[in-house]
Amino acid sequence: MSDVMKGVKEVIVDVLKVDEKDISLDTSFVEDLKADSMDQFFLIDGFCEKFDLSISDEDARNIKTVKDVVDFIEKKK
């Protein structure tokens, strides 16, 4: 597992209080993890803090799955 994926999982587990084993690249924040709009805000904020980057509102709207956020972070690094 990449460092990015590991960090993304840590943020998701911390924010959504889900089991790490329930998270894969295909996991959808809304459909699979039942994240509401506030959860999504806190997830984006957590990813920004964890990886020391900023995610615009437009980019955040395009982040629907774990793979989306991992790809985004890897492109920014």
pTM of the model: 0.94
pLDDT at 42 over 90: yes
Q: Where are the domains positioned within the chain?
A: 3-76
Catalytic residues: 36
The architecture in CATH of the region 3-76 reads Orthogonal Bundle (1.10)
Would you state the pLDDT for residue 67?
A: 98
Q: What is the C-alpha end-to-end distance of the chain, expressed in Å?
A: 17
Burial state string for 20-34 with b = 16 or more CB within 10 A and e = fewer than 16: eeebeeebebeeebe
Q: What is the mean pLDDT of the chain?
A: 96
Paired residues of 65 in beta bridges: 28
Query: Per-residue pLDDT tens for 13-40?
Result: 999 999 999 999 999 999 999 999 999 9
Asked whether the predicted pLDDT for residue 1 surpasses 80, the reply is no
In one-letter notation, the amino acid at residue 69 is V
